[in-house]
A = this chain, B = another copy of it.
């Protein structure tokens, strides 16, 4: 690992919608909205140090092994066999525990920044493992459905295995994602632990058909198929209770024209896909439905085919 002159490099990584209703752990897409920003600087003293955490969340671990950005850089350095020194600054833009992939975004931004400091840069696909290892500092799991779309951008299907296989799925023109972020927090780990370890075979079959239908609908530009497919029969029924007003917000989104609506990742944010012409109305409807339950929610409209992490 040879370094270019010791200037700092800053990368940003976007918030993401994990699962996309029917692709639990394997499907996700980037959002053009909040993002995390990570700056790496080469220093004389060996090792990885986190020197500043700013933005909207500052109470993150400063031990690099416990911090998602720190750990991903440690893993990258270890794989490259270097003992060079790095200072890391983190600016959180993605709320923690929001279901928008915040822990993964810091890891993704960190490896993209680190890669820019390598003389022989790695391919994005080679960075995936380091970002996954970094993210696991927060969740204890391999969160492909957030890390992969954060790194590659757009709508990404990830086939588990060694190596992970990534396929970027085209998104029909004119589709948008509405993201509603209520003022609540859910710990991903707890939301994962609450899931039943077994599922009924018919539900697994229907869920798989829905995921396949969503993929086919995206390739074929078939919005009717997408609307039918965007229905989570496996995970959402177990997690919906975590978000007060979930059923009402979902119904409001669909009544306003959304093709489908479900939890973003493990929530509490909800996402909806809609035609672009309906997106503002869907966003208003979701915010109003949350408000009727006494919950303030920030809503925004994003492309689904949003850019992945990149240096700035």
A168 CA / B173 CA spacing, docked (Å): 21
Q: Which residue from chain B places its CB closest to the CB of A158 in the assembled complex? A: B209
Q: Are A167 and B213 in contact (CB under 8 A)?
A: yes
Q: Which residue from chain B places its CB closest to the CB of A26 in the assembled complex? A: B209
Q: Does A111 reach chain B (CB closer than 8 Å)?
A: no
Give the interface size class of chain A: 35 or more
CB-CB under 8 A from A81, the residues of chain B are none
Q: Which residue from chain B places its CB closest to the CB of A231 in the assembled complex? A: B161
Copies in the complex: 2
A23 CA / B198 CA spacing, docked (Å): 19
A161 CA / B229 CA spacing, docked (Å): 11
A205 CA / B23 CA spacing, docked (Å): 8
Q: Does A208 reach chain B (CB closer than 8 Å)?
A: yes
Write out, one digit per residue, whether chain A residues 198-236 have a CB within 8 A of any chain B CB (1) or not (0). Answer: 111100111111111111110110101100110000100
CB-CB under 8 A from A24, the residues of chain B are 205, 208
Knowing A165-B213, A197-B200, A213-B165, the reply to whether A208 touches B206 (Cβ < 8 A) is no
Q: Are A225 and B27 in contact (CB under 8 A)?
A: no
Q: Does A160 reach chain B (CB closer than 8 Å)?
A: yes
List CB contacts (< 8 Å) of A151-177 with chain B. 157-161, 165, 167, 169
Q: Does A195 reach chain B (CB closer than 8 Å)?
A: yes
Q: Which residue from chain B places its CB closest to the CB of A214 in the assembled complex? A: B212
A to B CB contacts below 8 Å, 6 in the list:
A22-B208, A23-B212, A26-B212, A169-B216, A199-B204, A204-B208
